[in-house]
Structure 1
Amino acid sequence: MSWQNFRAKEPGPGARRRRPGRLLAAASLAAMAGLAFPAPFAHASEAVPVRCSARALVQAINTANSRPGPDTLRLTRKCTYKLTASDPGNAANGLPAITSEITIDGNGATITRDKSAPHFRILFVESTGTLTLNKTTISRGRATDCPGFPGRGFVCGGGINNQGTLTVNHSRVIDNTAASGVFAEGGGIDSDGTATLNNTEVSGNNAEYTGTDTSDAAGGGIANDGPLTVNHGYVHHNTVRVTKDTHSTATGSGIATFAQTTIRYSLISHNRASAPGGATLAALSNGAPGTVTDTVIRDNTSSAPGGDALGGGVATNDLLSMTRTQVIGNLATGAGMVRAGGIQVGRFGDLRLNSSTVGGNSATATNGGTAQGGGLANATGGTITSDRSKIRDNTARASSGGTAEGGGVFTAVGSTTLNHSSVIDNRAGDGGGIFKASGTVTLNDTEVKRNHPNNCAPPGSVPGCTG
């Protein structure tokens, strides 16, 4: 199930056309003659040294693919393998597709596309392939296709596209791009198979829709339509953007998830979604069951000048459990409907906050727009359950005669339950702590105090809340 299905569940700024199939869910560089290796090509547990040459790396992968069983390739320490041409077998990829079980031990090496080279992604893992990437930097890839949908103009996975099994350890995926005039997904990594990232940085990547019709871009850093696990990850300074005034949607500047996702001990920060005249969804946009534990999601921006911004830090339209997690300092801003500087819960969303903090976030509406929920917004029928969590110092603000409601929490239609929690020092035009337009808000042993200009609005709408 893809991010398009995630968004289709939400009423947006305008009607959106649907896409078929998965999007309803989201080698050599030259002739090899005469090339010699410093040692015979080893197999199984023996690591094969790969000299500091792009040609040598290409041949090593081709040889590993041609042999049964697993292979390990050991790159030259801190070498830069600069790809100047695409794989003759598939011009969309810089290196031969991974079709067998291969481990690349990078030793701090970098695999990059040369600035003068044609556009291509760096790595492609086929459905039969298993790739383990250790201590390697993947950079400057620029995807030109989406392997599951050839010939349709979709572009997916600027650095890595995974259709098989991918494990990335102690590595960096940086400065890659997926851009298309039809649909773009996964600036750094796009995974339809199974992916696990351990102690890995994903930064400076971009997913961009460049067309003139209404369409979308998703996953500036990572997009997954298969199971994804991120342990001790650092996902930062990625972008997702769409063409101005096309009523398009930019989703998940850091991570856009459309399959089961688990994130632990990670930092998702300083990512930016931009959709002038369109709509944006947050840095972590969740369209399938997800678990986030011991993670910080901070200082992300969701910007839709002339449009709608739904979630600065997190947006979910499925089950999302967040434990010992901080969603802090995020911003959602736009001129239309702006919801949730911190966490936006969609119609089918089920957010479960445990021992977490939603703090210092802002929903800011310009040009007479409406801001709802500086910290949390549950505006279309979802469910929020907070246990032992803090919602504090959030702001909903509007300029030029606009409306700002629910500095800490905004609820309409849905159900919000706060257990052993606190809503403190939040600000809005009305309902500084909590604004309940409709639905239900239940407070169990929860403090609502020091909010401005009031704790709850309309008066008497939230049982147990006064002032």
Structure 2
Amino acid sequence: MTDTLRRTTLTAVTGLGLCLTLLPAGQAFAQSPTTRVPCNDIPALKAAINQANTSGGRITLASRCTYTLTAPDNADDGLPEITGNVALTGRDTTIRRAPNATQDFRVLHVVSGGTLTLNSLRISGGSLADDNGGGVANEDGTLNLNRTTVRGNHAEMGGGLYNTGGKLNLDRSTVERNTTDAWGAGVFNTGEGTMKMTGGSLRDNRALNNGGGLENISGTAYLHHVSVRGNTALEGGGIRQTLGATLRLKSTEVRDNIAVSGGGMSNNGSTATLVRSLVTRNTAITTGGGIINEADGQVTLTDSRVVRNRPDNCVPQGTIAGCSDPAGRTVPPAAKLPPATDTKALR
């Protein structure tokens, strides 16, 4: 009986070993290791990121905790650069640059080939007067935000988020109250980068130059069920895009934004498609209260409305089919708008 059990056990172990051998590299153990970082233990957080850069892994932060960065880890970044596959998860958890920090630095930085996933976090307080991406910068990497808020950051360009040549994915996330000295107070997307945003909002961001909520230069941006609201800029209070950029809005509302021109949106030499979306109650000091379309740009409205903007809806006249009357006397078909609860849930 004992010999039979031994032979059975040996057979099972051998079979398991064979199965693990046949699995592709990295799949023998499907789950990455998880590292738990105590509340506001910055050295432990940096060590966990360095480890995850090397071997991959998930980092769990303490719930309802604020991790405060008082000095940069390197020249411009509060935490180590993301070079590997790193996931940070919290619950009502904040990572911030200290309000009294004496040096300028952003919070996080993804470099080429790196992937960073942020789950249920707040990123705030980053400041870079002479560089880009006050909250998080993504350079040719991948940046994923899930139920995450990027709030109160500042930079020369991309006050909240800066994405150049990489992939930026936002799911039910909020980018708010960020500022910039130049372009893209909320998000700056450029260098043929791709931005995809589902749910959430770009709101109350302020650019001294262009693109209050979003500045899209030679990039591609998809916004689905997003609220673009309360942003301000010199041009393109809500959204500005130029240099062959591509924008698609679906079930999205652009509302209550302010600019000198292009209160809701400024489209310059680029392509914008609005599907079941609304551009309303935006204000321009000069012209293009709703949308200004310049330099052979193309804007297509599908079941969308551009109405009740000041001092006009779309300019120049005749460049946007379905929105040819800047006085707003022609009203296109009604749009299906995002439920108000989507935005309120994130406040």
Common fold by TM > 0.5: yes
Question: Percent sequence identity over matched residues?
Answer: 32
Q: How much does 1:232 deviate?
A: 1.0
Distance 1:83 1:330 in 2: 33
Q: How much does 1:332 deviate?
A: 0.8
Q: Show the 5 A alignment for 1:250-265.
A: 250-258=182-190, 259-265=193-199
Q: Which of 36, 40, 48 is matched with 1:49 structurally?
A: 36
**How far does the alpha carbon of each residue in 1:296-321 deviate from its partner, in whole angstroms, 9 at most, with x for none?**
1111111xxxxxx3211111222211
Q: Show the 5 A alignment for 1:121-270.
A: 142-143=104-105, 158-163=106-111, 164-180=114-130, 184-192=131-139, 193-207=141-155, 217-225=156-164, 226-241=166-181, 250-258=182-190, 259-270=193-204
| 3-state SS of paired residue (2:185) | coil
Distance 1:55 1:85 in 2: 12
Q: Which of 298, 321, 327 is matched with 1:417 structurally?
A: 321
**How far does the alpha carbon of each residue in 1:101-155 deviate from its partner, in whole angstroms, 9 at most, with x for none?**
4434445444444455552xxxxxxxxxxxxxxxxxxxxxx32xxxxxxxxxxxx
5+ residue gaps, structure 1: 1-42, 120-141, 144-157, 208-216, 242-249, 303-308, 334-338, 365-370, 397-406, 425-430, 435-442, 448-467
Letter in 2 for 1:49: R
Change in CA separation of 1:353 and 1:76 when aligned onto 2, cut-off 3 Å: closer
Quote the residue 1:390 is aligned against. 305
How many corresponding residue pairs? 294
Distance 2:212 2:98 in 1: 32
Distance 1:385 1:115 in 2: 44
Residues 239, 271 of structure 1: 8 Å contact kept: yes
Change in CA separation of 1:267 and 1:98 when aligned onto 2, cut-off 3 Å: closer
Residues 85, 116 of structure 2: 8 Å contact kept: no
Change in CA separation of 1:351 and 1:64 when aligned onto 2, cut-off 3 Å: closer
**How far does the alpha carbon of each residue in 1:189-240 deviate from its partner, in whole angstroms, 9 at most, with x for none?**
1111111211111111111xxxxxxxxx321211111121111111111111
Change in CA separation of 1:111 and 1:379 when aligned onto 2, cut-off 3 Å: closer
Q: Show the 5 A alignment for 1:20-39.
A: none
1:294 aligns with 2:225: yes
Change in CA separation of 1:408 and 1:178 when aligned onto 2, cut-off 3 Å: same
Residues 97, 125 of structure 2: 8 Å contact kept: no
1:360 aligns with 2:286: no
| 3-state SS of paired residue (1:55) | helix
Distance 2:153 2:280 in 1: 27
**How far does the alpha carbon of each residue in 1:58-87 deviate from its partner, in whole angstroms, 9 at most, with x for none?**
34444555xx63333433444444444544
RMSD: 2.8
TM normalised by structure 1 equals 0.57
**How far does the alpha carbon of each residue in 1:351-379 deviate from its partner, in whole angstroms, 9 at most, with x for none?**
11111111111111xxxxxx222111113
Distance 2:100 2:276 in 1: 50
Residues 168, 195 of structure 2: 8 Å contact kept: yes
Indicate the structure with greater helix content: 2
Q: Show the 5 A alignment for 1:344-383.
A: 344-346=266-268, 348-364=269-285, 371-383=286-298
Quote the residue 1:316 is aligned against. 241
